[in-house]
């Protein structure tokens, strides 16, 4: 069989269930069928919606694969049947669906991969919460973990991606009209997942994800067609940062430009010279400006290039930027006469990109470069001067009696000048060259012992000697300076790399960070100070080393050179040796990181303080949802029964009267149980639930618990050993636990299958088991069912507020016991209550 080209995938993407993905997919299928294309339905979920079911009329449906699991029957996509049918297009709903056990693949998208490999086009649907990269974000928004996900790469490689969009208000109206879920699930859905905030956030995620995919397609198209020009499909503003103090002004100006256009992007870029020896950039400034960019919603980028203007334009072209913001030149007028500068050169190369030259305060102050320091140590410079003063006369005395030719004598003096340059640098070497010129002229150039030179050729030789000596001295000095700068840059890079590793390893505690700073520079004390609200008062935030610094020094004499002002309130102060200018740059980088670490620490503390409040708010929201739905149902039934009995216009028969009374009684029992559960859960969370432990026999508690089930009591069967020992428990609380567990088991057990209650003891513990034959719970959800307001199993969302298991575990643990879940052999769920034996 010959090779078959891979099929094409088309995905209808929505922000949430109910926006109309399946409806749009079926509408496309009907239009394709009318055009004569071979379209079949592989799997479509109607969810009981008549409008969706009507669109299936007239479409060929490939029978699905039926799989039994735990007493239930599931129908899944039959990929083999679809491939055997070999249609042109197949519809497969819910791409992220998890297949029933026994299927070839665990996920439906894997079945779709097989169909695509067979050369069949697939049209599918997907909600934004099922994308793997957004899994954690969606969980933060909705509070619900996502277990069904699809790899982003599969969706990105789809030939077509259609966004099915709907406003949150419109979707909630659809939900309220019963077009998404059955009526009994509408209230809970509107109060929880389908809140306006949730839907707005999910919608924004969907729009941003699709926009990012479109942007990638546009970039690929421009690259494939060699389009170098800028297409202003989206406004992008790039601001160039040098690390100077003017960067803050440039970033804010670029942010204002970005804010004028809705949906515009802000990007900051810093070009690092390839030799890494440029002293223009300040690491502390760059750290601060990077945070400012990110706070304003932008992104920070760093590129390497020798030609800064060309590197800026290449970056702007690469991101399809429409505007470029630069700072006005800080160079003096004399320097501007000789070179055009970065701003003018960038403007010339910009093409269709608008370039903004922004003036700033630093223009008046010039480039602000620190004065150049000697490249060599003081000892080497002194050695160079000594060699000049001693070796020159000595060389003259040695070669004078040898009667050498003038070129040979010039070469010997040149060799000595080079040696002086290697030892002492430029200025001793230049002095040696001038001194050598005088010695050569006086002692070795005819007429000797005069400053007159008779031969023009000798004049040229001596002039060239001085010029070569000066050039060699300059080159040697520059090389030494570059070596010193390279060594210093490498040391700074190692320190900053250690700092970055400190952060990446999670060692973000301020004390640890300040300790590393103190060790790096050999300081005696490092303190981070914060100004309190009363002016002039300082508070120690963190310190390392000797006695802490209580206030920042005011002058360099008492350590002012070791003070870094981070912002209006924060200052990093050091005590110990004085730091030079190059050390201060690294010190400022440490100070900026210390400020970030302080902010992170305070945010973490604020989050920890807010977490109980958020949990309480979540519980309050869920409680209101429960009161709004689950309390209303039994209350309405009881009121309706009582009102009917009070109606004197109707003559009720004894049978009708008994039925109404039974309905009211049953509804009030449900209401009483629900209110008791809510009150007990609130007491548990507040830690005020009273527990009185005493020896209890199971036969004293279980019969009463079964009686409390009311009409459900007949579906519970007990099998207890006669010699079961007593155990420590609170009888009233244990009865509540058993009632909740047995009611939950009966609710999910198939009709005709009784719930079995057994007991046994092992060592110091007595165990009671409630065993059902229901659909069970996936192992990964065993712990989640103990959270308040959770319902799992058969997904029935209208039979209670989901407090039973959470309350049961809380009450059991309050009595010193445990409540665990495990699968029942052969299908179902077993809940085990373990309590300590009585002494």
pLDDT above 60 for 386: yes
pLDDT above 70 for 268: yes
Q: What is the structure's pLDDT at 557? A: 42
Q: What is the structure's pLDDT at 174? A: 83
Q: What is the structure's pLDDT at 95? A: 92
Higher-confidence residue: 290 or 807?
A: 290
Average pLDDT over residues 818-839: 88
Percentage of the chain lying above the pLDDT 70 cut? 79
Which residue, 483, 499, 481, 488, is CA-closest to 284?
499
pLDDT above 70 for 591: yes
Cβ-contact 409, 444 below 8 angstroms: yes
pLDDT tens digits for 115-143? 999 999 999 999 998 888 888 788 888 87
pLDDT above 60 for 789: no
Average pLDDT over residues 668-682: 70
Please name the residue that has the structure tokens 């760059």: 286
**CA angle at residue 386 from 381 to 392, to 5 degrees?**
125
CB atoms within 10 A of CB 407: 11
Q: What is the structure's pLDDT at 832? A: 92
Average pLDDT over residues 336-352: 72
Q: What is the structure's pLDDT at 801? A: 40
Model confidence at 799, pLDDT cuts 50, 70, 90, reads very low
Structure tokens at 391: 């070796």
pLDDT tens digits for 290-299? 888 888 888 8
Percentage of the chain lying above the pLDDT 90 cut? 11
pLDDT above 70 for 680: no
Which residue, 205, 139, 193, is CA-closest to 18?
193
Q: What is the structure's pLDDT at 587? A: 78
pLDDT tens digits for 740-774? 889 888 888 888 889 999 999 888 889 999 999 88
Euclidean distance between the first and the last CA atom of the chain, given in angstroms as a whole number? 77
Cβ-contact 513, 541 below 8 angstroms: no
The verdict on whether omega for the bond into residue 447 sits within 30 degrees of 0, i.e. cis, is yes
Cβ-contact 7, 116 below 8 angstroms: yes
Structure tokens at 675: 């209110």
Q: What is the structure's pLDDT at 556? A: 40
Collapsed DSSP state (helix, strand, coil) of residue 67: strand
Collapsed DSSP state (helix, strand, coil) of residue 300: strand
Distance CA 280, CA 475 (A): 23
Q: What is the structure's pLDDT at 41? A: 93
Q: What is the structure's pLDDT at 109? A: 92
Cβ-contact 43, 92 below 8 angstroms: yes
Model confidence at 239, pLDDT cuts 50, 70, 90, reads very high
What's the chain's average pLDDT? 78
Which residue, 63, 105, 97, is CA-closest to 81?
63
Model confidence at 791, pLDDT cuts 50, 70, 90, reads very low
Model confidence at 663, pLDDT cuts 50, 70, 90, reads confident
Cβ-contact 642, 697 below 8 angstroms: no
Distance CA 722, CA 698 (A): 10
Point out the least confidently predicted range of 184-193, 217-226, 453-462, 568-577. 217-226
Cβ-contact 674, 634 below 8 angstroms: yes
Average pLDDT over residues 490-505: 57
Distance CA 280, CA 265 (A): 27
pLDDT tens digits for 12-61? 999 888 888 998 999 989 999 989 999 999 999 887 777 888 888 889 99
Could you please report the per-residue DSSP string of 410-444? HHHHHHHHHHHHHHH-HHHHHHHHHHHHHHIIIII
Higher-confidence residue: 819 or 598?
A: 819
Distance CA 125, CA 147 (A): 17
Positive/negative CA dihedral, 436, 440, 443, 447: negative
pLDDT above 60 for 364: no
pLDDT above 70 for 232: no
Which residue, 110, 123, 139, is CA-closest to 7?
123
Q: What is the structure's pLDDT at 370? A: 44
* Phi (first) and psi of residue 436, to 5 degrees: -65, -35
Across the beta sheet with 354-358, the strand order is 299-304, 265-272, 236-241, 323-327, 354-358
pLDDT above 50 for 514: yes
Average pLDDT over residues 434-459: 77
Model confidence at 684, pLDDT cuts 50, 70, 90, reads low
Q: What is the structure's pLDDT at 560? A: 47
CA atoms lying within 13 Å on the CB side of residue 29? 36
Q: What is the structure's pLDDT at 84? A: 92
Per-residue DSSP letter, 561: G
Collapsed DSSP state (helix, strand, coil) of residue 543: strand
Classify residue 745 as left (phi > 0), alpha (psi -120 to 50) or beta.
alpha
Structure tokens at 233: 């499909």
pLDDT above 80 for 432: yes
Cβ-contact 510, 528 below 8 angstroms: yes
Distance CA 805, CA 813 (A): 12
Element (H, E) at 655: helix 654-686
pTM (2 d.p.):
0.38
Please name the residue that has the structure tokens 């309130």: 569
Higher-confidence residue: 824 or 273?
A: 824
CA-to-CA dists, residue 59 to 41, 291, 681, angstroms = 7, 57, 52
Q: How far is CA 492 from the centre of its chain?
A: 29
CA-to-CA dists, residue 216 to 191, 261, 320, 697, 788, angstroms = 37, 21, 11, 70, 43
Q: What is the structure's pLDDT at 834? A: 93
Q: What is the structure's pLDDT at 262? A: 65
């Amino acid at each position: 069989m010959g090779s078959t080209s891979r099929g094409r995938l088309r995905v209808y993407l929505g922000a949430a269930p109910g926006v109309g993905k399946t409806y749009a997919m079926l509408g496309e299928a009907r239009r394709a069928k009318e055009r004569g294309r071979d379209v079949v339905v592989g799997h479509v979920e109607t969810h009981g919606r008549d409008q969706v079911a009507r669109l299936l009329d007239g479409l060929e449906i490939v029978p699905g694969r039926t799989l039994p699991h735990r007493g239930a029957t599931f129908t899944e996509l039959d990929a083999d049947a679809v491939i055997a049918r070999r249609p042109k297009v197949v519809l497969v709903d819910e791409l992220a669906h998890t297949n029933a056990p026994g299927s070839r693949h665990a996920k439906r998208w894997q079945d779709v991969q097989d169909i695509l490999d067979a050369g069949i086009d697939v049209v599918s649907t997907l909600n934004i919460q099922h994308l793997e990269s957004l899994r954690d974000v969606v969980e933060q928004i909705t509070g619900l973990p996502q277990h069904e996900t699809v790899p982003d790469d599969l969706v990105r490689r789809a030939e077509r991606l259609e966004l099915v969009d709907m406003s949150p208000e419109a979707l909630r109206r659809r939900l309220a009209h019963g077009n998404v879920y059955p009526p009994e699930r509408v209230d809970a859905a509107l109060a929880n997942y389908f809140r306006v905030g949730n839907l707005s956030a999910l919608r924004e995620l969907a729009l941003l994800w699709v926009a990012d995919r479109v942007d990638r397609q546009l970039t690929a198209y421009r690259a494939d067609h060699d389009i170098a020009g800028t297409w202003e499909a989206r406004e992008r503003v790039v601001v160039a940062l040098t690390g100077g103090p003017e960067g803050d002004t440039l970033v804010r100006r670029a942010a204002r430009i970005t804010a004028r256009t809705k949906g515009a992007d802000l990007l900051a870029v810093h070009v690092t010279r390839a030799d890494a020896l440029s002293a223009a950039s300040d690491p502390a400034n760059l750290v601060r400006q990077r945070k400012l960019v990110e706070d304003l919603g932008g992104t920070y980028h760093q590129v390497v290039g020798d030609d800064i203007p060309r590197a800026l334009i290449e970056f702007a072209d690469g991101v399809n930027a429409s505007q470029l913001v630069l700072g006005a030149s800080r160079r003096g007028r004399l320097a501007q006469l000789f070179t055009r500068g970065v701003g003018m050169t960038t403007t010339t190369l910009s093409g269709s990109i608008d370039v903004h030259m922004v003036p700033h305060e630093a223009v008046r102050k010039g480039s602000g470069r620190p004065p150049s320091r000697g490249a060599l140590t003081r000892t080497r410079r002194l050695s160079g001067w000594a060699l000049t003063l001693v070796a020159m006369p000595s060389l003259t005395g040695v070669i004078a009696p040898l009667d050498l030719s003038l070129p040979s004598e010039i070469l010997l003096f040149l060799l000595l000048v080079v040696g002086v340059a290697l030892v002492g640098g430029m200025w001793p070497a230049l002095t040696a060259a001038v001194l050598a010129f005088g010695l050569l002229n006086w002692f070795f150039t005819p007429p000797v012992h005069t400053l007159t030179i008779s031969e023009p050729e000798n004049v040229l030789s001596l002039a060239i000697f001085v010029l070569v000596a000066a050039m060699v001295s300059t080159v040697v000095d520059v090389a030494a300076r570059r070596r010193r700068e390279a060594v210093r840059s490498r040391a700074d890079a190692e320190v900053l790399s250690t700092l970055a590793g400190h952060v990446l390893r999670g060692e973000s505690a301020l004390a640890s960070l300040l300790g590393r700073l103190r060790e790096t520079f050999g300081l005696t004390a490092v303190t981070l100070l914060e100004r309190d609200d009363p002016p002039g008062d300082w508070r120690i935030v963190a310190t390392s080393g000797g006695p802490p610094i209580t206030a920042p020094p005011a002058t360099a004499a008492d350590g002012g050179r070791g003070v870094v002002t981070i912002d209006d309130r924060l200052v990093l102060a050091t005590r110990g040796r004085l730091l030079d200018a190059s050390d201060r740059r690294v010190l400022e980088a440490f100070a900026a990181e210390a400020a970030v670490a302080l902010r992170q620490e305070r945010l973490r503390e604020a989050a920890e303080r807010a977490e109980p409040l958020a949990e309480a708010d979540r519980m309050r929201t869920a409680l209101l949802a429960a009161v709004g739905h689950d309390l209303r149902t039994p209350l309405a039934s009881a009121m309706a029964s009582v009102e009917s009995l009070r109606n004197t216009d109707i003559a009720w028969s004894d049978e009708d009267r008994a039925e109404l009374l039974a309905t009211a009684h049953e509804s009030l029992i449900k209401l009483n149980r629900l209110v008791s559960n809510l009150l007990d859960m609130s007491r548990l969370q507040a830690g005020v639930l009273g527990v009185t432990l005493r020896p209890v026999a199971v036969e004293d508690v279980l019969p009463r618990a079964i009686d409390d089930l009311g009409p459900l009591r007949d579906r519970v069967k007990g099998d207890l050993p006669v010699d079961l020992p007593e155990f420590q428990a609170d009888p009233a609380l244990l009865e509540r636990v058993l009632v909740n567990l047995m009611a939950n088991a009966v609710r999910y057990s198939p009709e005709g299958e009784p719930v079995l209650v057994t007991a046994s003891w092992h060592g110091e513990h007595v165990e009671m088991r409630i065993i059902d034959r229901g659909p069970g719970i996936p192992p990964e959800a065993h712990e989640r069912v103990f959270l308040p307001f959770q319902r799992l199993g058969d997904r029935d969302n209208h039979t209670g507020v989901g407090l039973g298991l959470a309350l049961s575990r809380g009450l059991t643990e309050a009595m010193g016991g445990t409540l665990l879940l495990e699968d029942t052999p052969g299908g179902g769920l077993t809940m085990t209550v373990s309590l300590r034996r009585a002494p």
